Amino acid sequence: MDAQTIISKLPYTKPFLFVDGLTDVSANGIEGHYTYTADHDFFRGHFKQYPVVPGVILTETMAQIGVVCLGIFLLNDELNESIVMALTSSEIEFLIPVFPGEKVTVISEKIYFRFGKLKCRVRMINTQNDTVAEGTIAGMITNRNT
């Protein structure tokens, strides 16, 4: 499955889609990127005179690329409209801020994928290769019809 197919199967659209592209995909991990353009609505109020990407949005970006995109790749032929991936846990450490216009890269390594649960070690870096945030994120594959 190629990068564009994976992205097209994401259950998100703008303005809540935080995946611009995927550069590496395998059964053991995934790498992708996103640029936080200055027109994102959350910059208007977070913070006054000093806009930064909120931690919850950084976490969402890491989850979309590092867990959901990888889950779509791993499920491949089993994926259908009734299957969704829901966040079950995250433990993220935020190290440096991300500002309007910055591009970030998310690098995810699968820890395990069993019994419908995918857990990954996820790291976000900026264009200077500085670690912005890192931690673990897990998601559970569930059937929305049950």
Low-confidence ranges of the chain (pLDDT < 50): none
Q: What is the pLDDT of residue 81?
A: 65
pLDDT, residue 57, reads: 97
Active site residue 46: yes
Say which residue the tokens 């208007």 belong to: 44
pLDDT value at residue 145: 63
CATH of the domain at 7: 3.10.129.10
Alpha helices in the chain (DSSP H): 3-8, 55-63, 70-75
Strand ranges in the chain using DSSP code E only, listed in sequence order: 21-26, 29-35, 83-94, 103-114, 117-126, 131-143
Determine which one of 40, 46, 103, 121 is catalytic.
46
* Single pTM value for the model: 0.94
Instruction: Name the domain count of the chain.
Output: 1
pLDDT at 86: 84
Q: Domain residues for 7?
A: 3-143
